[in-house]
Amino acid sequence: MAEERLPLGVAARLSRYLQILTQAKKTGKHTISSKTLSEYSNVNPTQIRRDLSSFGKFGKRGVGYNVDYLIARIKEILHTSGSHNLALMGSGNLGTAIASSKIFADHGFNIAALFDADPAKIGQEVGSLRVQPVTEVAETVRERGIIVGVLAVPPHAAQEAANVLVSAGVKIIFNYTEALVDAPPGITVHSMSPAGELLYALYFYLT
Amino acid sequence: MAEERLPLGVAARLSRYLQILTQAKKTGKHTISSKTLSEYSNVNPTQIRRDLSSFGKFGKRGVGYNVDYLIARIKEILHTSGSHNLALMGSGNLGTAIASSKIFADHGFNIAALFDADPAKIGQEVGSLRVQPVTEVAETVRERGIIVGVLAVPPHAAQEAANVLVSAGVKIIFNYTEALVDAPPGITVHSMSPAGELLYALYFYLT
DNA sequence: TAGATTGTTAATCGATTAACAATC
DNA sequence: TAGATTGTTAATCGATTAACAATC
């Protein structure tokens, strides 16, 4: 029962297992083996068993792991049992796609507010959200206790949107754009890099 | 000048450096230090210098790395100097966002075709692409020499879309949905997992 | 020269893998 | 029992980091 912060690799893999388990549960799976988890995560099955067994004996030999039980334990380990409010910047195609997806909701993330810099979009409804002007970011972030901001704006607007979020008190910037985003010390910027990941996948196909 | 396949970690990091360098070039940067690259990639600067110096002396002491030169060398190392055609499945908000973005084009990926299962969408224009029916996947994939398929469909349609692509001869499935996707041996499935990455980022904020 | 940053070493730590007894 | 899969060991390999001489 480690109280210390997990090594980067372990935390990354556990997050991945959790995502896969959450989806597997949706398809009606009650148990899952390290072999199956390996196929979906591209992590070696021995590594998976090692990662899990370092926290306790979560599996049943000859059977595998109980999906619900494993989800609960990993959430405990990652301290992510709770729910968190997100602010989404950008109500274009990408912002709308994110707002319409259950992917964040599946993990207890609630998209609490949607902002756009375009005056023509203010007040429009996207799902259950109403598009708010950027001038309301600070107030909304404070009121709703938002610590994560998601950038779904055009690349040229990414830095400015990040600045607004950081000024408002957001601690984690989740950058869906390809633009580079700077932030002050203490603020985490996490950038999606689909093109980078595709280059990586292609490398192993080409060699 | 290694001819062998790179370790997974090295290939993943080089892909990441390439994505960052490509964006840095856009902002007019001519040189970049391992320290700056570290801030954008969250990789230790010593690790970056080690990764690069194992292929040659690419930098200038006291100055840093020339962006153009480094891009060219990493493309060589990853064998991704060429151009590749992609097939994009799904012309909803997500598909439209991907088709409208320069993120893939920046790395020599060309979205060659856009498919949708919804008859109402066939023939619509999305950027310079015309939405094609799924019945045309096989022919288009063959004609355009497509080896990568991108899934931007609703999660419940992801497996079926993947099946169609695999039958048509696609070798790499790039899954933007949260659904789990199975594929036969020899086919690579690479799934985006934004929620997983957010859980990971949050873990380090919470601890 | 002075400041900055690379290339490289050395030491430690985590990741990877095969193998297999334990056990469901 | 027979088959499957976990938990664990042991050995190797790659990642990480601090430190610093070399040099732009």
**CATH number of A61's domain:** 1.10.10.10
Q: Is B149 on the interface with A (CB under 8 A)?
A: no
Residue B199 lies in a domain: no
Structural domain includes residue A205: no
- Whether residue A187 is found in the same domain as residue A92: yes
Average pLDDT over residues A119-143: 97
User: Which pLDDT value is given to residue A81?
Assistant: 84
Asked whether the beta carbons of A106 and A22 are under 8 A apart, the reply is yes
Say whether B206 and A79 touch across the interface (CB within 8 A).
Answer: yes
What is the predicted pLDDT for the residue at A1?
34
Domain that residue A115 falls in: 84-194
Q: Specify the pLDDT at position B3.
A: 53
CB atoms B11 and A200 under 8 Å: yes
Residue B114: pLDDT over 80: yes
Give percent of chain A above pLDDT 90.
Answer: 90
DSSP-derived secondary structure letter, B138: H
A206 CB-near residues (< 8 Å, 6+ apart) = B79, B80
Q: Does B65 touch chain A (CB under 8 A)?
A: no
Domain membership of residue B201 (yes or no) is: no
Q: Are both A42 and A112 inside the same structural domain?
A: no
Burial class (CB in 10 A: 0-12, 13-18, 19+), B149: buried
Predicted local distance difference test score (pLDDT) of residue B82: 86
Going by DSSP bridges, is the β-strand pair B64-66/B59-60 parallel, antiparallel, or unpaired?
A: antiparallel
Residue A152 domain-assigned? yes
Instruction: Report residue A5's pLDDT band, with 50, 70 and 90 as the boundaries.
Output: confident
Q: Which nucleotide is nearest to A63 (CA to C1')?
A: D5
Are B47 and B100 contained in the same domain?
no
Reported as type and span, the H/E element at residue A188 is: strand A188-191
Chain B closest CA to A79's CA: distance in Å?
7
Query: Do B52 and B154 have their domain in common?
Result: no
Of the residues A51, A76, A101, which one is the last residue of a structural domain? A76
Q: Do residue A100 and residue A23 come from a single domain?
A: no
Residues in chain A with CB shorter than 8 Å from the CB of B172 are: 198, 201-202, 205
- In angstroms, the CA A33 to CA A135 distance is 50
Angstrom distances, CA of residue A105 to CA of A98, A102, B3, B53, B135: 10, 5, 45, 43, 34
Across the range A168-181, mean pLDDT stands at 97
* B43-78: burial string, b at 16+ Cβ within 10 Å, e else: beeeebbebbeebeeebeeeebbbbeebbebbbebb
Same domain, A180 and A94: yes
Strand D–CB A115 distance below 7 A = no
Q: Which nucleotide is nearest to A8 (CA to C1')?
A: C14
Average pLDDT over residues A10-26: 95
Residues of chain B with pLDDT > 90, as a percent, come to: 90
Listed residues A32, A57, A76: the one ending a domain: A76
Interface test with B, best of A180, A181, A187, A206 (most B CBs within 10 A): A180
- Please give the protein residue whose CA is closest to the C1' of the nucleotide C3: B62
pLDDT digits (tens, 9 = 90+) for A62-113: 999 999 999 999 999 999 888 999 999 999 999 999 999 999 999 999 999 9
pLDDT greater than 80 at residue B2: no
Nearest residue on chain A to B170, alpha-carbon basis: A205
A21 and A118 fall within a common domain:
no
* Same-domain check for residues A88 and A190: yes
Q: Does strand D come within 7 Å of the CB of B5?
A: no
Q: Which residue places its CA closest to the C1' of nucleotide D2?
A: A62
CB contact under 8 A, A93 and B100: yes
Rounded CA gap, B7 and A83, in Å? 37
Chain A residue whose CA is closest to B40:
A180
What pLDDT, in 10s, does the model give residues A25-61?
Answer: 999 999 999 999 999 999 999 999 999 999 999 999 9
Chain A residues within an 8 Å CB radius of B28: none
B25 contact A CB<8A: no
pLDDT of residue A207: 82
Domain match, B57 and B116 both: no
Mean pLDDT across the stretch B100-129? Answer: 96
pLDDT tens-digit series, residues B183-194: 998 899 999 989
Among residues B76, B99, B131, the one where a domain terminates is: B76
Q: Give me the residues paired with residue B31 across strands.
A: B66
pLDDT at B207: 82
CA distance B174 to B110: 14
- CATH number of the structural domain spanning residue A108: 3.40.50.720
Report pLDDT for A50. Answer: 95
Count of structural domains, chain B = 2
Q: Indicate the residue type of B187.
A: I
Q: What phi, psi does B3 have (nearest 5°)?
A: -100, -15
pLDDT band at B29 (very low <50, low <70, confident <90, very high): very high
Q: If you measure CA to C1', which residue is closest to nucleotide D5?
A: A62
CA distance B160 to chain A (A): 15
Give the nucleotide nearest to B63 (CA→C1'): C5
The mean pLDDT of chain A is: 94
Q: What is the pLDDT of residues B40-84, one digit of tens each?
A: 999 999 999 999 999 999 999 999 999 999 999 999 999 988 899
Q: Is the pLDDT of residue B132 over 60?
A: yes
Are A67 and A131 members of one domain? no
CB pairs < 8 Å spanning A and B: 177
| Residues B102, A23: C-beta atoms closer than 8 Å | no
The predicted model scores a pTM of 0.95
Asked if A172 lies within 8 A of B205 by C-beta distance, the reply is yes
Which nucleotide is the nearest neighbour of B8, by CA and C1'? Answer: D14
B57 with B157, same domain: the answer is: no
Q: Over 70: is that where the pLDDT of B1 sits?
A: no
Question: Are B171 and B105 found together in one domain?
Answer: yes
